[in-house]
Amino acid sequence: DSDMPLMEESEKLRFGEESSPALAFEKDAFELTVEDVYDISYVIGRDLLKISSTGEEVSDLQFRIVRVLEMFETLVNKYNLSLEELKMERDNLKSELDRIQTAGPNQLVVDLTDPNRPRFTMQELKEVLQERNQLKAQLMVAQEELQLYKSGILPQAEPAMVEVDLETPAATEHSPATINDAKEEKTTIGKL
């Protein structure tokens, strides 16, 4: 028992000179490659050969060690593949992000397949709303006239003064000269 540490010491020295397979034992577990696993297997295999006794117990142990090393190989392989996949995924996302960002910080990237994507300009919306409100006002005027006509207040010869101011916001600046125009407008609405 007491000479065990000495043995380890001498082995280390020997492998150190060769400067190869045994180095795999020094590596960080997460940095191991399949080649390192093969190096480790090589070293363990070589050490097993040095054990002179050839009993059944030893061969069972050898078999288990080989099995563990195979499992180790699979795990290291799998780990490295996953890592590689994640790196690729990251790079893809990075380049996608770059593509989006080149559109500018204040620009929107629109998915053309999205049925709910924005597709009308503010000007178009403005016009649609103006038209809607105009029609709504006309409907109100018509309803009012109908009400008056039904109640017999409205004689057919003389139209009632019904007016809803529908100037578009841009046209709200009036000059006194529009008084007459306004009168005409009222008459027209009355006749409708």
Q: Which is nearer to other proteins, 22 or 189 (CB)?
A: 189
| DSSP code string of 89-131 | HHHHHHHHHHHHHTT-TT-----TT-TTS--S-HHHHHHHHHH
Residue 95 is encoded by which pair of tokens?
Answer: 């380049």
**Least Å distance between CB 175 and other proteins?**
7
Contacting other proteins (CB under 8 A), which of 1, 17, 111, 165? 165
Looking from the CA of 170 toward its CB, the CA atoms found within 13 Å total 3
Applying CB under 8 A, the span of 12-20, 28-36, 37-45, 153-161 interacting with other proteins comes to 153-161
Instruction: Answer yes or no whether residue 108 interacts with other proteins by CB under 8 A.
Output: no
> Is 161 in contact with 186 (CB distance < 8 Å)?
yes
Nearest to 73 by CA among 44, 109, 46: 44
Contacting other proteins (CB under 8 A), which of 6, 153, 156, 191? 153
Instruction: Answer yes or no whether residue 163 interacts with other proteins by CB under 8 A.
Output: yes
> Is 160 in contact with 190 (CB distance < 8 Å)?
yes
The residues that touch other proteins, with contacts defined as CB under 8 A, are: 122, 125-126, 129, 133, 136-137, 140, 144, 148, 153-155, 158-165, 167, 169-170, 172-176, 178-179, 182-183
